[in-house]
Amino acid sequence: MSNQLNGKIALVTGGSRGIGAAIVRRLARDGATVAFTYAAADERAQALVREIAEAGGTALPIKADSADVEALQAAVAQAAQRFGRIDILVNNAGILLRGVVDDYPLADFDRMVAVNVRAVFAAVQAVLPHMGQGGRVITTGSVTADRAGFPGASVYSMTKGAVAALTRGLARDLGPRGITVNAVQPGPTETDMNAGAEMHAMLSSLMALGRIGKDSEIASLVAYLASAEAGFITGAALTADGGYLA
């Protein structure tokens, strides 16, 4: 374990699997105490807690669907009450519901906006009473904010574009308090959203590096933004995409 985040308290939404779990692992490895939310994967959440404990860290799992604002607010309150404050908020929870515009269900549209956009705003609102000078807010966006790339991604792309715009606005709101606000925009990455060898091969062909990303590589950028070294970076949407947009 390194110590660049030693003594810091972090909350990661959607932290039981994929990029979220990688972020939880990395922040804990760097010395932070990490609370994380998850919607349904109880076994994965408990396994992650055990893994971090075995490595000498501390993690607190909190079951909360990010589409439920009250549950999300309660999760923030629980983490703050348990650890006394929150220094780092990572808005990682997100969903992808594909579909072309002709027959895209409005219920799917509303849920995607609720999880990918509204939950980010609600979590920031809820965490601010517990976050002081030097706080960090980091949101997982996507390169689809800049390039949809495929049919069926219009609503997802819209939500990630909204995340980038919200990040800029929140940076202005919170800058006077010494709180930085940034987004990380992964390109194609090994997650449940991009499962299967055929999908990996297709996506790899689009990358300048000839491969898709690893969740740990996204987590490393999040960890940097959470560190003291990144204190002059705010309002940014930083891309980690292996050259997908190049």
Active site residues: 156
Burial class (CB in 10 A: 0-12, 13-18, 19+), 134: middle
How far is it, in rounded angstroms, from Cα 222 to Cα 204?
Answer: 23
SS3 201: helix
**CB–CB of 186/240 below 8 Å?**
yes
- In the 8-state DSSP scheme, what is residue 93? -
Nearest of 198, 191, 202, 187 to residue 244 by alpha carbon: 187
SS3 62: strand
With a CB cutoff of 8 Å and minimum separation 6, the contacts of 192 are 17, 18
Q: Which residue has the tokens 């000078």?
A: 133
Q: Which amino acid is at 75?
A: A
